[in-house]
Structure 1
Amino acid sequence: MARLDPVAFGFEQEHGSAFDHESAGLQAAAALNARFAGLSARDLIERALVEVFPGRIALVSSFGAESAVLLHLAASVDRGIPVVFMDTLRLFPETLAYRDMLVERLGLTNVRTIMPDPEALQAADPHKALWMMNADACCRIRKTEPLARAMAGFDAWFTGRKRFQAATRAAIQAFEQDGDRIKVNPLAAWTIDDLKAYVAEHDLPPHPLVAKGYPSIGCLPCTSKVKPGEDARAGRWRGLDKTECGIHLGLENDGSGI
C-alpha cells in the first residue's frame, strides 16, 4: 500500500519515531485545501496530477450518470491518467457500453477494468444472491476489496463526488484524508446546473439510463428508479439502511478506506 511521504508535505519526523500516517493525512488534506482554494476543477486536477501526486494518483470512475464530466476534465489534462473502473459483474449492460463509448470519445489510454476475485465470489456468493442477504458483504467482495488491490501503489485518487448528491456528502472538501491516501474531489462544490452547463458546452453523451429515471447508477439488483422530488441517490439500496457501497466510508479495517 502506498504511504504518504512526510517530507513531500513538509512534515517533520523525529529520528527513530513511528510516523502517524493518519495524522499526516489530515494535515496534508487541510494544507492542500488551503493552498489550492478557489482553483477551478480543471486547474485542481492539473496541479494534483503534475505537482502534488505526479505518477501517484488515479481516477476512480463508475462510468455512471455524472461520470463524463470528471473524465472529460481529466482527459483534457492528460489522456493517459490511470482510470480505475470496477466491473462488479452485476452492472447494467448499458453501463459497460457507456464505458466503451466514453473511453473512445475522450481518447482515454489507461483505463484499468478490475473485477472481484473469482474464488472469493464462489465462496461467498455462488448463486449471486448475496445482495439480498447482506448488501454490505456483497459490496465488499465486488467493490471495496478489488479496488483496494487496484489502488496499491497510489497515494491519492480522484472521485466525482459532489455535495448536493446526498446528506452524507454535504460537507466534503476538495481534498480529504482517507486512510493512507488523499481523496481529491474536484467537483465537490459543483451544482446540478454546473454539470448540465458543462455537458452542454462540451456535448458530452449522457448515460442511457438517466433518461429512464436513474440519476444514480450502481449494480443492477440494487439500483431502482427515482421518483420526482426524491434524493438523487434514493434509488440506491432502496429500503436498506445503506447509502454508500463502502469505498467512501474510510473503514480501513474492511478495505473500504481506499
Structure 2
Amino acid sequence: MLDGNLDTRAGRLNDRYRHHAATGVLRRAVSDPDLGRVALVSSFGAESVVLLHMVSVAAPGLPVLFIDTEMLFPETLEYQREVAAKLGLTDIRIIRATADEIARHDPDGTLHQFDQDACCNLRKTVPLEQALSGFDAWITGRKRFQNGQRAALEFFEPEEPSRLRVNPLAHWRPEDVQEYMVENNLPRHPLVAKGYPSIGCAPCTSPVKPGEDPRAGRWRGSDKSECGIHFIGGRMVRGKVSA
C-alpha cells in the first residue's frame, strides 16, 4: 500500500529529486517505493527514443505501453519495431481499442473528420486508461518547452484518482534532446527529416513550416493541442489548471 495522498507523494518526490538530472530521475523512479508499479508510455514519435534509451539502460524489462491507434503512419510502426529491437526492450505492450469498440463508434474510420476529441478518446485515452489500471505511475516524455500548457511541468504530477505521472525530461531544452540523440547514436524517426517534428496519427498530423511551433502540425486548423491522454482528474487539460 502506497503511503499518503497523491499531492503529498508528488510533493515529496519533487523535493527528493529536485536537483537530479533526467537520467537520475528515471533510474530512481522505477524503484522508488513512493511510486509503486511503473510503466513507460511511448508514442515512438520524434523524440521518444531518448526516454526509451534511458529505460533500456536503467531497466530494460520495464513495461513500455505503445498505443497503436490503427491510424498511425506506416513509418511509425516500422520505427517502433526498429527501436525496440535495437535497444533490447523486452516488454513492449501494444495497446489498441477493441474491435467491438471500433465497430460501434467508428466503423468506417471517419470519426476524426467530424469529432477529433471523440476519436482520440476511442483510440487513445480509453485503451490507455485500461492498460494503466495495473500501474501506480507512468513515465511520459512531456517537456516544458513544448507549449504553454506544459510551461510549469514538474518531474512528478498527481493524476487523480490514483496515479502519478513522471516527466524526467520536464526541464530539458530542444538542444538537450538533440544532443542526447547524437551522443548515443540513436535512430531518428524517418518523418522528422520530412518536416514532422511532432508525430501523431496520419490523418491529423501535417508537416511544419520553418518558424512554426513544433506542434503546429498536430490537429492543424483547430484549437486542439492534446490528444487527451495527458489529463488531470479525468479531464483533458487545455489551459491553466487551478489547484
1:206 to 183, 188, 196: 188
Give the TM-score of the pair, scaled to structure 2. Answer: 0.93
Bigger Rg over Cα:
1
Counterpart for residue 104 of structure 1:
85
Structure 1 unmatched runs, 5+: 12-23
2:199 to 204, 217, 222: 217
Quote how far apart the aligned CAs of 1:42 are: 1.3
Structure 2 unmatched runs, 5+: 237-243
Quote how far apart the aligned CAs of 1:230 are: 1.0
Structure 1, residues 121-154: CA drift from partner, whole Å, max 9, x if none?
1111111110011000000000000001111110
Counterpart for residue 187 of structure 1:
169
Note the 1:43-192 alignment, pairs <5 A.
43-52=24-33, 56-179=37-160, 180-192=162-174
For 2:7, give the aligned amino acid: L
Q: CA RMSD in A?
A: 1.4
- What is the alpha-carbon distance in structure 2 between the residues aligned to residue 38 and residue 53 of structure 1? 18
> Relative to structure 1, is the Cα distance of residues 55 and 25 closer, same or farther in structure 2, using a 3 angstrom cutoff?
closer
Secondary structure of residue in 2 paired with 1:177: strand
- What is the alpha-carbon distance in structure 1 between the residues aligned to residue 125 and residue 206 of structure 2? 21
Secondary structure of residue in 2 paired with 1:214: coil
The runs of 4+ residues in structure 1 deviating greater than 4 Å are: none
Counterpart for residue 225 of structure 2:
243
For 1:79, give the aligned amino acid: P
Give the percent of matched residue pairs that are identical in Structure 1 and Structure 2: 51
Quote how far apart the aligned CAs of 1:52 are: 3.0
- What is the alpha-carbon distance in structure 2 between the residues aligned to residue 77 and residue 115 of structure 1? 27
Kept in 2: contact 1:53–1:156 (CA 8 A): no
2:9 to 7, 28, 32: 28
Counterpart for residue 227 of structure 1:
209
Counterpart for residue 37 of structure 1:
18
Q: How many residues are aligned here? A: 235
Kept in 2: contact 1:72–1:106 (CA 8 A): yes
Quote how far apart the aligned CAs of 1:167 are: 1.2
Counterpart for residue 241 of structure 2:
none
